[in-house]
Amino acid sequence: MDGHPNTEHLGEADGSGRIILEGQHAPVSYHLIATHDGKGAYGVQIELSAPRDWLLDRGFDREATLVRQNGEKVRVRFENKLGVEDNVSVSLEARDSMRGSIDDLTAKYPELDAIARKRAAH
pLDDT at 120 (0 to 100):
66
pLDDT at 2 (0 to 100):
47
Rounded CA-CA distance 113/34 in Å is 11
pLDDT at 38 (0 to 100):
86
Closest CA to 47 of 72, 11, 22, 12: 12
pLDDT at 1 (0 to 100):
45
In which residue ranges of the chain is pLDDT below 70?
1-5, 119-122
* Domains in the chain: ranges and CATH: 8-117 (2.40.30)
pLDDT at 50 (0 to 100):
95
* 44, β-bridge pairs: 34, 96
pLDDT at 122 (0 to 100):
60
Residue pair 49/87 in contact (Cβ under 8 Å)? The answer is: no
